[in-house]
Structure 1
Amino acid sequence: MCISVLGPTLEDLATNLNKNISNISYIFACRATGYIAGSLLGGILFDLINPHLLLGFAMLLTSFGMFATPFCKKALVLAALVSTVGVSMGVLDTGGNVLLLNTWGDQAGPHMQALHFSFALGAFVSPIIAKLLFGHESSALDQSASQTAATNVTSAALPFLHGKSSILTSMWAYVVIGAFILLASLLFFILYSRSSASPNKESSAPGKPPFFAKHHTALISLLALFFFFYVGAEVAYGSFIFTYGKEYARLPEAQAAELNSLFWGSFAACRGAAILFAACVYPATLILLSLASSVVSSLSLVLFNQQHVMLWIGTTVYGASMAAIFPSGISWVEQYTTVSGKSAAAFVVGAALGEMVLPALLGFLLGRIPHQPLLMYLALCTATVTSILFPVMFKLASSTGGAMVRKQRIRTHGEIDDCEDRQALLDSVADDAEEDAGPEENESEIDQWNDADFEVIEMDDASLTNSPSKTSSPPPDIPLSSQVPSSVHPSSSVTSSPVGASTSSVPKLSDSPRRKVLFDREKND
């Protein structure tokens, strides 16, 4: 919402500063510079600070910039505010992607699509808020201003009337968007307070071990270059399709505006549909289908650039094919290597540079080479380059190191899940056994052991009575016999000795194996 609201309200911002649009166009460069700086800063801070706290502060800073923009009367102050909002948006973009990957891991496909669908939804809603909800009063006042000019009223009142209308109408869109962002920042602060309130639970939870591919740096660099061409083509097509339809295709202004809306509408709709597809389709498959569709549609737009029907169909297909590439690319690379804060900052900066360079290059070429379908040439070239880059990245990621990392990650997750399931099963079985074992079973076990003890004592007494050495002192192992059940010794009675061996019966009894077994049993008990 913060990104797309600047375009529809640019004229009102210029009027609010008493300047022309050309004199404040530098605010786009200020925002892009702040966005790049915020992406780099967010990549560093995200590895050091709690993610919820960082995102909460970034959104709070964004809401402050949005609240202050309508009341800004100085060009330098406006440039500072726009740069501040750009920094916070860079932090949000980098931190949001990394937080989602850290939360969901390999299962982040549908959630990543949902995150970027919210970007497209915000870009679709903010112009409606700026022009449809708060634009009626401005148009009515502009009409009254033109009628006043027709009756020869002094032209000095016109800037005041127009300035008043701009403050009262479209500028309030910044306040509404700022309030919405402030509410979202409060939610992140609540998440941070809840997470800090239970540190033991978080510290005890095992984190996902980082896995880095063998060619991690090269893979992230190629992905940043991939996003450079992809995002640059997306922004360039969305920015210049209105001019292309009006100047080159000779469409009426209303139809050119509808063509522009069709591109962004198909883009947002297919990004929403990609949430469902990502749950059952691999990210690499989505990327390949999107790249093939973009190549076919851009080639058709180049070959049939004079036909209006093909322009409408090709724009629709091209917008749909561009929808799922960025989130699918992030989900795909997460399968082969860990996307840290610095890694996410790298490809976000690449996307921001593409957003700056390619539209500016196209605008420069349109001024030098008019009446040529340069927009369609750019779309075809970028689609071809990205279609070449992705197989190279796939080959690099599927090398020995990348394949081993992916298998190790899947095996680690599987072992963790199996251990958790096994432990849960054992715990449930133990709980059921404890619940089933009542006091009756415990009493029966005690009775069995007591009966066994009495049997052993009776057998020992009988053996001593029948023994010729009964007049002698009882052997010292008799009291120990009460400690062992009869099941341990199948024949617990002592074999009677011959009459002549009466003098040696006691030593033999004390050194018997039965004595040793009973002694060991007593020690164990």
Structure 2
Amino acid sequence: MTRLDDGVWSLCTRHLQQTATYWSVFFSFGLCIAFLGPTVLDLRCQTQSTLQQITWVFFSQQFFLLVGSGVGGLLKSTPMCSLSALFSSTLIISLVFAIIPLCHHVVLLSIAMALAGKAMGIIDTVANRQLVTLYQKDSAVILQALHFFIGLGALVSPLVADPFLSDDSCILGANWTANSSFPLDLQHLRDSLAGHGAVLQNASQYPLFTEGVVVTRVAYAFWIMALINLPVPAAVLALMFHQRLLPCTSSSPRLLDKDFQSGSSPARDGYQGHGNVFITSCCNPSQLRGHSATFFVLHLLAGAIVFITDGIIGSYAGFVYTYAVSPPLLMSHKAAGCLNSVFWASITAGRAAFICFSSRCSIPVLLIVSLVGVILVQCLLLIFYTSSVFLFIGTCLLGLCISSVFPFMLAFTEDMFHYRGCATTVLVMSASTGEMMLQLLVGLVINSQGSYSFLLCSTITSFISLCLFLLLLYIHRIHTDAMVTPGEWEVSQQHTSNT
């Protein structure tokens, strides 16, 4: 069980620059992931494209985020390679923010978002992996703080963009007159676009100009975000300088401060305790010792759990507005538009709160409590489906319960496999895939079965995730010996032969 004792604080103090750098990198991740929804209408005007064309930019970002997650998993886990990847990725994000105002065609914008998505995927995998291998059994608390910074960046991004968003049509058509009344509530349309899986199929119902004079000021928002993000690659560069990983700092670069090593005894192959960033190949057959089936089953179960839970987060954030403005709730557009902000704010607050809880309870217990809480909240939302007030309460509670499932699952799964590093890549890719695929599937169900099916789908999938986690615990308990390190396996075999 992870505890914030003096030893952990001492470890955190010694790793302070590294830890703070990885946290700032995830702030950059959150900044990039949240800006597209609020600004997409102004980007549509800038590129003079239709809604159906511009919403493919969402897909471009999500797909290449998945690709980037895989690329990050293939990178070597040495400090030089990891920090170089983080530096280039965070710098790319700043450059993408700077060049987006120059993309006057939807294809160019999609390419820019693909680059940003790939950079985000690399950040997601590499930063998680480096902190897990740095803190190992104490990583749960640190990962909670890491994912808190995603929420912080996601809260800052819309606040920066909001003053520069158009209040009316940002393309003045040829037949536009001063007395014309714009046919749509733009805020309603912006909030609807958060569930872009549905908009792709219904974009034709929104009659917006594609030709005329473009009057958007959204470029200033992107340039401000580019400046806000610039300190992040600078921080990564400073860490590389501190660790003498730059060619100009030393002829023989040190891969890690000696102060970061815990203990002076030689490490076992593939496991060195706190501070070690060298992990063996997670799928090395020689290290599985006949337990390859268990190895892959547990990875599959862990991946399926975060596939579902991150998919629930994506689909809830994407379609809660659509659900709220539809019968029987029929909430006002302004009130319904607050639900998404409440949800992300509660996720951010939940990750901050679980930093304290993770120091007092075991990770499996916290995961069971979180997953059971998600099910109970969604069941209550189904029961009180006519209450607008409870929708706000339930949205807040759902965000608090589901906020920490991914960081806890990552810490728990890596602990099961003694930090070989494979779990981080599998879980990050599964989470990205779930967020992309479940939004699409839920959007299709809503279009065919109605808005109530939105909550029903989330409740069923969350119940499945709890069952999968209980199965994971059962299999892990039966096959605990499958996760011993090579040195421990040899000792146990020698002990068996002697007795």
Is TM more than 0.5 here?
A: yes
* Cα shift readout 1:424-457 (whole Å, capped 9, x = no counterpart): xxxxxxxxxxxxxxxxxxxxxxxxxxxxxxxxxx
AA partner of residue 163 (structure 1): V
Are the counterparts in 2 of residues 229 and 386 from structure 1 also a CA contact under 8 Å?
A: yes
Deviations 1:7-26 (A, max 9, x none): 10001111001112222211
**What residue number does 1:245 align with?**
324
Structure 1 residue aligned with 2:301, among 209, 222, 234? Answer: 222
Counterpart-to-counterpart distance in 1, 2:324 and 2:297: 40
Structure scoring higher RCO (CA < 8 A, sep ≥ 6) equals 2
- Write the deviation string for residues 151-179 of structure 1: whole angstroms up to 9, x where unpaired: 68xxxxx9898623x2x3x2222222222
Distance 1:356 1:336 in 2: 27
Matching residue of 1:232: 311
Q: Could you tell me which residue of structure 2 aligns to residue 16 of structure 1?
A: 46
Indicate the residue corresponding to 1:399 in structure 2.
Answer: 478
Q: Is the 8 A contact 2:320 2:340 kept in 1?
A: yes
Match of 1:357 among 429, 433, 437: 437
Which range is displaced more, 14-23 or 257-266?
Answer: 257-266
Of residues 254-263 and 119-128 in structure 1, the stretch that sits farther from structure 2 once superposed is 254-263
Per-residue CA shift, 1:396-434, capped at 9, x if unaligned?
22234358739999xx9xxxxxxxxxxxxxxxxxxxxxx
Instruction: Give the Cα separation in 1 of the matches to 2:132 and 2:408.
Output: 12
Aligned-pair CA distance for 1:142: 6.6
The one-letter code sitting in structure 2 at the alignment partner of 1:234 is I
Change (3 A) 1:23 1:199: closer
Give the match for residue 275 of structure 1. 355
Name the residue aligned to 1:35. 65
8 Å CA contact retained: 1:232, 1:355? yes
In structure 2, the CA distance between the partners of 1:358 and 1:180, relative to structure 1 (3 Å rule), is same
Give the equivalent residue in structure 2 for 1:118. 149
**Larger mean Cα displacement after TM superposition, 93-102 or 179-188:** 179-188
Relative to the length of structure 2, the TM-score reads: 0.73
- Please give the secondary structure, in 2, of the residue aligned with 1:393: helix
| CA shift in 2, pair 1:402/1:311, >3 Å | farther
Q: For 1:191, which of 218, 221, 239 is the aligned residue? A: 239
Question: How far does residue 340 in structure 1 lie from its aligned partner after superposition?
Answer: 4.3
User: Is 1:44 paired with 2:58?
Assistant: no
Is the contact made by 2:414 and 2:420 (CA closer than 8 Å) also made in structure 1?
Answer: no
Partner of 2:221 in structure 1?
A: 173
* Contact 1:228 1:354 (8 Å CA) reproduced: yes
Q: What TM-score, normalized by structure 1, do the two folds share?
A: 0.70
For the Cα contact (< 8 Å) 1:235–1:359, is it kept in 2?
Answer: yes
**Which of 150, 153, 156 is matched with 2:178 structurally?**
150
1:330 lines up with 2:400 in the alignment: no
2-structure distance, mates of 1:19, 1:352: 27
Question: 1:187-216, CA deviations, whole angstroms, 9 ceiling, x for partnerless residues?
Answer: 112211221347458486566753677433
Residues 207 and 96 of structure 1, relative CA distance in 2, 3 Å threshold: farther
The structure with the larger Rg is: 1
RMSD between aligned alpha carbons? 3.0
User: Which residue is 2:24 aligned to?
Assistant: none
Counterpart-to-counterpart distance in 2, 1:283 and 1:291:
12
Matching residue of 2:447: 367
Tell me by how many angstroms 1:227 deviates: 0.9
Aligned to 2:276: none
Match of 1:295 among 375, 388, 411: 375
Who is 2:214 aligned against? 163
Stretches of structure 2 lacking an aligned partner (at least 5 in a row):
1-30, 181-208, 272-281, 283-287, 492-499
How far apart, CA to CA, are the structure 2 residues paired with 1:368 and 1:201? 56
Q: Is the 8 A contact 2:65 2:118 kept in 1?
A: yes
Q: Deviations over 1:337-378 (max 9, x none)?
A: 1344543222111111111111111111222122x4111101
Give 2:127's match in structure 1, choosing from 96, 112, 136.
Answer: 96
**Contact 1:47–1:340 (8 Å) recurs in 2:** no
Q: Taking structure 1 as reference, are residues 141 and 224 closer, same or farther at Cα in structure 2, changes over 3 Å only?
A: closer
Q: Deviations over 1:13-63 (max 9, x none)?
A: 110011122222111111122111111111011336532122111111222
Is the partner of 2:431 in helix, strand or coil?
helix
Higher mean Cα deviation, 215-224 or 327-336?
Answer: 215-224
Cα contact 1:396–1:402 (8 A) shared by 2? no
Which amino acid letter does the alignment assign opposite residue 250 of structure 1?
A: L
Q: Which residue of 2 aligns with 1:378?
A: 457
Q: Structure 1: 5+ residue runs without aligned partners?
A: 153-157, 413-525
Distance 1:394 1:104, change over 3 A: same
